[in-house]
């Protein structure tokens, strides 16, 4: 049984390596962010303490992540331009719940990435391992979250006009779609909070929208 599972995992990796050839080129994806206002929507429960949906939708690009489906438009907005994820949602859920213009696959672990359709891959950008590794080293070899990976990519590798963060409290509250705060995690939330603070000092167009 274990041999079968290992072989299936290897097969998934090989297929995903082939499918990567169909995905968006790095230059094209980066160009999409040029001089744009961007809202990155985190999934903290505290997002629902505010009614910033209209403000969120006013951005040129709205990025949602993982299982952060829209439950309360008055707090989350209605718009989705990009779905970014390290979490293997079914393709039917991606299309029905997000209907994104682009898909941004974050984790370099191809063994957890579903084998999505050719159609979805043609509008997908997969974060290069070299960029993931840069951030990993910046965090002293702590695995970055999906949210921080998005922030880092846009700030350090794109030319956005404005970046606003919503629903980021660095796990002071749980993700709204989970029952409790995860403790079995490879991430360091305090380190990520401090790293985002340093990015805000470096890039004056990065803002954390809080109460």
Residue 211's pLDDT is what? 56
**pLDDT tens by residue, 159-206:** 999 999 999 999 888 898 987 777 778 899 999 999 999 999 999 999
Residue 6's pLDDT is what? 56
Average pLDDT over residues 37-64: 96
* Average pLDDT over the chain, rounded to an integer: 93
Residue 49's pLDDT is what? 94
CATH number for position 52: 3.90.1480.20
Region at 188 (left for phi over 0; alpha for psi -120 to 50; beta for the rest):
beta
Q: Give residue 208's pLDDT band: very low, low, confident or very high (50, 70, 90).
A: very high
Average pLDDT over residues 74-102: 97
Spatial separation of the C-alpha atoms in residues 176 and 121, rounded to whole Å: 28
Average pLDDT over residues 70-94: 97
Q: Give residue 153's pLDDT band: very low, low, confident or very high (50, 70, 90).
A: very high
Residue 171's pLDDT is what? 87
Region at 179 (left for phi over 0; alpha for psi -120 to 50; beta for the rest):
alpha
DSSP 141-192: S-PPPHHHHHHHHHHHHS--SEEEEES--TTSS-BTTSSS---S-S--HHHH
Residue 54's pLDDT is what? 97
Residue 7's pLDDT is what? 73
- As for how many domains the chain has, the answer is 1
Residue 81's pLDDT is what? 98
Q: Which pairing describes strands 82-85 and 102-105: parallel, antiparallel, or unpaired?
A: parallel
Q: Give residue 3's pLDDT band: very low, low, confident or very high (50, 70, 90).
A: low
Average pLDDT over residues 33-39: 98
Residue 70 structural domain: 2-208
Element (H, E) at 61: strand 61-65
**pLDDT tens by residue, 104-152:** 999 999 988 999 999 999 999 999 999 999 999 999 999 999 999 999 9
Q: Give residue 210's pLDDT band: very low, low, confident or very high (50, 70, 90).
A: confident
């Amino acid at each position: 049984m274990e041999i079968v599972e290992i072989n299936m995992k290897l097969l998934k990796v090989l297929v995903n390596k082939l499918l990567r050839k169909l995905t968006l080129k790095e230059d094209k994806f980066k160009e999409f962010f040029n001089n744009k206002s961007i809202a990155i929507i985190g999934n903290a429960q505290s997002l629902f303490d505010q009614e910033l949906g209209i403000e969120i939708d006013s951005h040129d690009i709205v990025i949602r992540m993982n299982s952060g489906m829209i439950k309360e438009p008055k707090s989350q907005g209605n718009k989705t331009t990009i779905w970014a994820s390290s979490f293997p949602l079914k393709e039917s859920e991606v299309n029905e719940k997000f209907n994104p213009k682009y898909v941004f696959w974050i984790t370099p672990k191809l063994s957890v990435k579903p084998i999505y359709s050719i159609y979805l891959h043609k509008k997908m950008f997969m974060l290069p391992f070299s960029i993931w590794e840069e951030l990993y080293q910046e965090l002293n070899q702590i695995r970055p979250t999906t949210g921080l990976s998005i922030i880092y990519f846009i700030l350090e590798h794109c030319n956005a006009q404005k970046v606003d963060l919503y629903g980021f409290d660095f796990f002071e509250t749980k993700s709204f779609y989970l029952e409790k705060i995860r403790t079995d995690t490879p991430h360091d939330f305090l380190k990520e909070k401090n790293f985002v603070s340093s990015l805000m000092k470096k890039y004056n167009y990065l803002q954390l929208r809080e109460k």
